[in-house]
Amino acid sequence: MNFTLHIWRQENAKAKGSFETYKVSDISPDCSFLEMLDILNEQLINDHIAHPVCFDNDCREGICGMCGLYINGRPHGNDDGVTTCQLHMRKFKDGDEIWIEPWRAKAFPVIRDLVVDRSAFDKIIQAGGYVSVTTGGVPDANAIPIPKRFADMAMDAAECIGCGACVAACKNASAMLFVGAKVSHLALLPQGQVEATERVKKMVCRMDELGFGSCTNTYACEAECPKQIKRQNIARLNREWICQIFGGNKRPE
Amino acid sequence: MNLDSKIPEGPLSEKWTNYKINQKLVNPANKRKLDIIVVGTGLAGASAAASLGALGFNVDIFCIQDSPRRAHSIAAQGGINAAKNYQNDGDSIERLFRDTIKGGDYRAREANVYRLAEVSGDIIDQCVAQGVPFARDYSGLLDNRSFGGAQVSRTFYARGQTGQQLLLGAYGALSREIERGSVRLHNRCEMEELVIIDGRARGIIVRNLVTGKLERYAAHAVVLATGGYGNVYFLSTNAMNSNGSAAWICHRKGAAFANPCYVQIHPTCIPVHGDYQSKLTLMSESLRNDGRIWVPKKKEDAEAIRAGKKKANDIPEKERDYYLERRYPAFGNLVPRDVASRAAKERCDAGYGVGPTGLAVFLDFADAIQRLGRKVVEQKYGNLFQMYQKITDENPYETPMMIYPAVHYTMGGLWVDYELQTTIPGLFAAGECNFSDHGANRLGASALMQGLADGYFVLPYTLQNYLADQITVGHIPTDTTEFDEAEQSVRQREERLMAIKGDKTVDHFHKALGKIMWEYVGMSRNEESLTKAATMIDELENEFWQHVQVPGDIESFNPEMEKALRLADYFELARLITADALHRKESCGGHFRTESQTEDGETLRNDENFMYVAAWEYQGHGKPETLHKEELNYEHIKIATRNYKN
Amino acid sequence: MDTHKLIKISSITKKLLIGLFGAFLLVFLLFHMCANLLILLHDGGKAYGAFCHFMGSDFVKIFEIILFACFILHAVLAVWVWFLNKRNRPVGYHKPSRTKTAKGSKLAIVSGSLLLLCLVFHFYDFFFVKINFVEGTYMVKTEEFMNNSPTLEVSEEAQMVFLNLINDGKASDDMLWIRQISAEDKAVLQEAFPEAEFEPDFYTIAHQKFSVWHIVLCYLVFFFLVGLHIRHGFESAFQTFGLNHYKYSRLIEVLGIIYCWVICLGFAIVPIGVFFGL
């Protein structure tokens, strides 16, 4: 298969970027999208055309959350429930023009080409996305039974890989699905409920500070989440927030 | 070199307790005066940094990715072992210990493994308290699975993402310490040099991957938690950026490297499908519970399938060779990883392999679907089937999966004593990057256990023992000659690579190295193949230093430079793996020497001559390394032959 | 509380307030729609007139103020959030988004702005008459008018107007209301009867307006926009108040669709009905 690629090139955070057009040919349909970019880079180096295209990637099996490209108007490309590394070229048509852009958000500044800085996500988690236990001195693992339903719902939320597709897809660059997933995960478990009130307050305030937008219930995040995390987690975040406003620790599920 | 394993006195079950009673401690006010560097944010690194930070030490933690949560521990699927005996099926610390020793083919240190089994239960408690959503049954209590190499169900799991959930737990604990100010996070930084002052590890030089600038960090102790070196094979289940350089840098500076030839090959991975392929994807070991592995009985059929003239379903039942069931009637498809991998290779080498490359075998679920119904199979393995379909575009409910073994885990690593301290004082190694607990083969679901045991429950104790006499040292300045020299050596290395301006990419050499390693130092090795590999590696390395092309600038965001630096170390590492494999004239666990096998092609250990840990000492570039032996004394366990036939 | 903190309301709280005011407007719409249906009764505007009279009472006026406050706050907050959100992606994408999303939400700011525009025309037709901003058609209670009528010094002009009203069948003793008083007539009568309380005759106004096809069409577009906006609003309110849950998100969705259609059709049937004389 042959493709024409329009790729965002930007030398560093301060430089002015622009799209450059490259052609790749003889790509196997079984090739993954990132492998296609590997081939392009090989070509760029060998033919001394340009500096290879920088893009984040690591595990290449859809779990580390490192990769993330905005491909033809969709984060992680034109397939549902996959990360960019799981996208395969058979999803494209021979001769397609492919536009590749980095995540665009104030909170995710571009580092180089398609690489963005997502440490804002780390900072949100640092604000309170955990249970404050230190090592040791904890009760036996089976001391507190947790209904399977709750454990399962918590796991659904906990599957978030922190790739940032939700922010990239959102017209407001909002991180509500990311925050909602973490708040939900911990609010559904008795271990996390102790600090639930404080947690939601700190995480949401940190999120606002870092320049993420506000949610307008468009659910683009849900549509593009590679782990298919549901909007109900945002509702739970809102619920936790309301409880926090009224100061109570008595919260509905 | 003195390999003192520092195993505490007393009976095996009391060693760790004795150690803790007699060790030295640092009082809270003094902890603030002590700095610790942790390299790596996987299970071992994150849990160690979080625990040490909570104790009150000043911790600096480094990761090469953009966030600590990206470390490759996140990709572990199956689960984590712990001797909780929640199932009342006869599990105990002793039994987990024995299974691990046996699984490691009697090449692990008893005391370490026993301690691992001892703290395994605490890990689960800790993780549950952190909010890790382990699978539960309808009573609300924790559920367990069984895994290879055990007769009990002791594996805790969180769907197919156990590693992810455990790592996020440790990442949460780490994040809490970062917020409290006890830990400082340095992301997108790669360790390039270890700084040794007066014989002790005192700091590191890192390359800031965003700017390309070198930065200096000093501390009273350095903890390495940088994972394994499986990517020396280029294609492996490791992440693209996983590398062995940090460990290798320490090895160059004097840390002994133990058992490098013990590499685990995982039997169920999606086969290679082209030259452009960058990585192999693992399909969970749990698939072998219901899937049956086969190849055609007739070579003509195999050829027809390879040519695409026949499909798997065209082969009638009586023309199929279920070779694992044939060879190992007692364990069938559930033999340990090394055994299953070798059997697959044997069939493919004999010309019965399937798939376009001939390097694949079928993993068939037709029986399971018939027996259990498609729904049950879907519930059990749905996400794996979906993953397989996404990658291969084939529906595993209708046609059998194709699988082939791939490099997965490295049991070898930096030599450490009971305290996890390397042969360089003040340099500790935790998790996959040390060699300690898995012997010659790791059991499924034990890697997560070891990483967390080291980080949560071992290092917080043993580091204090080391640091107790460091309280008067004061913060270590970074403007000393040792730091100058270390930084200079890194810069020179970078400049040397940059100056080559050759005509071939880094990946070109890495792929070539991978091919040599897989072909000659892979699943089965012999004197001839290993000798050949040694020469080929030397040649390739020479070519690399003459023809590699690193584009861009040193001081910029430059992934090609990162890759080149890592590959330069891989050549040396590959040589050591080959030398170690060549010297170990026996077969054990993941190391299979064709000269040393039983009549039916099983591993044949040579306990008389090789019952030791091979710890290698670096002698300079290109020079043969010196072998040091740490004899393994089994006081507690009775040594036997592994038998999976009956 | 210092002003800085006041302005920095959290993003979720802002949404909550928008939702809260929006929810009040949603309920109001249902009420408004039910009232409108009275126009379709073939009772010569008796019921609707009574309703309109009730709406003129002081008690209702308080609600009117609340309603306007809600409306303004809803709009101001929404525009504010929209404005703030625009800043979170300083560099946009080259390729327009192809993500499948809830269209209603994406278009909420557009449909909301258009609604505001439509509302001005709607107010011109109805509400501005009520507040005497524009002239319309009026009515007055017969009983009240008769009792209050100062029999002396009624100008000839006023007598003529009154006689015409009786002759046209717009006024009689047995009718509760004297209706369909034009603005000029009202001015004459008011001069003669200073104490008479004239009210806008919305029943008649509605019939006048809805007999013109292009006005009917404009209103149908207006109701379509209302529908689009509440298609987003209804579900969204549940989401924002944290009431969405796996167990009943489907139910909320269905209710939202039903609510949307009920409001839309309920409003639309009035101009259509009047136009076709149903």
pLDDT at C197: 80
pLDDT for C5: 54
Please tell me the distance from the alpha carbon of residue B22 to that of residue B468, in angstroms, as a whole number. Answer: 13
CA distance C63 to B110: 81
What's the confidence (pLDDT) of residue C152?
Answer: 57
Q: Distance between CA B483 and CA B205 in Å, rounded?
A: 8
Q: Are the CB atoms for B500 and B546 separated by under 8 Å? A: yes
Please indicate whether, in this complex, the C-beta atoms of A135 and B51 are within 8 angstroms of each other: yes
d(CA B125, CA B117): 14
Residues A166, A200: one domain? Answer: yes
pLDDT in tens, B466-494: 999 999 999 999 999 999 999 999 999 99
Closest listed residue to residue B220, CA positions, set B30, B16, B6, B27: B30
CA distance A24 to chain B (A): 13
C168 band by pLDDT with thresholds 50, 70 and 90: confident
> Do A193 and A228 share a domain, yes or no?
yes
Residue A252 lies in a domain: no
Q: Say yes or no for a CB contact (<8 Å) between A238 and C239.
A: yes
Same domain as A210, residue A92: no
Which carries the bigger pLDDT value, residue B641 or residue B405?
A: B405
Instruction: Please list every residue in chain B whose beta carbon sits closer than 8 Å to the beta carbon of residue A79.
Output: 390
The whole-number pLDDT of residue C2 equals 46
User: What domains are defined for chain B?
Assistant: 267-407 (3.90.700.10), 481-631 (1.20.58.100)
Tell me the C-alpha distance between B439 and B109, whole Å: 7
Of residues A73, A153, A173, nearest to C89 (C-beta): A173
**pLDDT tens track, chain A, 253 positions:** 999 999 999 999 999 999 999 999 999 999 999 999 999 999 999 999 999 999 999 999 999 999 999 999 999 999 999 999 999 999 999 999 999 999 999 999 999 999 999 999 999 999 999 999 999 999 999 999 999 999 999 999 999 999 999 999 999 999 999 999 999 999 999 999 999 999 999 999 999 999 999 999 999 999 999 999 999 999 999 999 998 888 766 555 5
A231 has a chain C CB within 8 A of its CB: yes
The pLDDT of residue C150 is: 56
CATH number for the domain harbouring residue A128: 1.10.1060.10
Residue B68: pLDDT band with limits 50, 70, 90: very high
pLDDT, average across residues C32-48 = 89
Q: How many residues does this entry show for chain C?
A: 278
Interface size, chain A vs chain C, as Cβ–Cβ contacts under 8 Å:
143
Residues B285-301 have a mean pLDDT of 90
Percent of chain B with pLDDT over 90: 85
Of A171, A204, A236, the CB nearest to C10: A204
Q: How confident is the prediction for chain B on average, in pLDDT?
A: 94
Residues of A in contact with C95 (CB under 8 A): 70, 72-73, 99, 101
Strand partners, B469: none
Cα angle at A55 between B270 and A164, to 5 degrees?
85
Q: How far apart are the first and last CA of chain A?
A: 51
Whole-number pLDDT of residue C148: 62
For residues A62 and A122, membership in a common domain is answered with no
Residues of B designated as active site: 337
Tokens (6 digits) for B434 = 């040390």
DSSP code for B289: G
Examine residue A251 and state whether it is found in any structural domain, yes or no.
no
**Domain harbouring A18, CATH code:** 3.10.20.30
User: In which element (H, E) is residue A40 found?
Assistant: helix A33-46
Q: Are residues A61 and A21 in the same domain?
A: yes
- Quick one: A208 and A130 in the same domain? yes
A82 lies in some domain: yes
Do A163 and A234 share a domain, yes or no? Answer: yes
- In this complex, do A52 and B559 lie within 8 Å of one another by their Cβ atoms? yes
Neighbours of B198 (CB within 10 A): 7
For chain C, domain boundaries: 10-84+103-135+206-275, 138-200
Residue C60: per-residue pLDDT: 86
Higher-confidence residue of B119 and B147: namely B119
For chain C, the chains sharing at least 3 beta-carbon pairs closer than 8 angstroms are: A
The answer to whether C17 contacts chain A (CB < 8 Å) is: no
Q: What is the pLDDT of residues B429-447, one digit of tens each?
A: 999 999 989 999 998 899 9
Residue C1: predicted pLDDT: 39
| Cross-chain residue pair C105–A75, CB shorter than 8 Å | no
Q: What is the pLDDT of residues C60-108, one digit of tens each?
A: 889 889 999 999 999 999 999 999 999 999 999 999 999 988 777 788 8
Residue after which a domain boundary falls, among A112, A140, A173: A112
* In chain A, alpha helices (H): 33-46, 119-128, 148-158, 165-169, 176-187, 190-193, 196-209, 220-224, 232-245
ipTM (interface pTM): 0.97
pLDDT tens digit string along C205-227?
A: 899 899 999 999 999 999 999 99
Whether C92 and A235 lie within 8 Å, measured CB to CB: no
Is the residue at A182 inside a domain? yes
Range scoring the smallest mean pLDDT among B292-306, B523-537, C131-145: C131-145
Q: What pLDDT sits at residue C153? A: 66
CB contact under 8 A, A31 and B274: yes
Of A92, A112, A132, the position where a domain reaches its end is A112
pLDDT: which is higher, B287 or B196: B196
Q: How far apart are CA B1 and CA B185, in angstroms?
A: 35
- B612 bridge partner residues: B631
Which of A45, A79, A112 is the last residue before a domain boundary? A112
Higher per-residue pLDDT: A226 or B602: A226
The answer to whether A67 and A100 have CB atoms below 8 angstroms apart is no
Predicted pLDDT at C171: 75
Share of chain B above pLDDT 70, in %: 100
Q: Do residues A92 and A128 both lie within one domain? A: no
How many distinct structural domains can be found in chain A? Answer: 2
In a domain, A253, yes or no: no
CATH topology of domain C10-84+103-135+206-275: 3 helical TM bundles of succinate and fumarate reductases (1.20.1300)
> In this structure, are residues B72 and B95 in contact, taking their beta carbons and an 8 Å threshold?
no
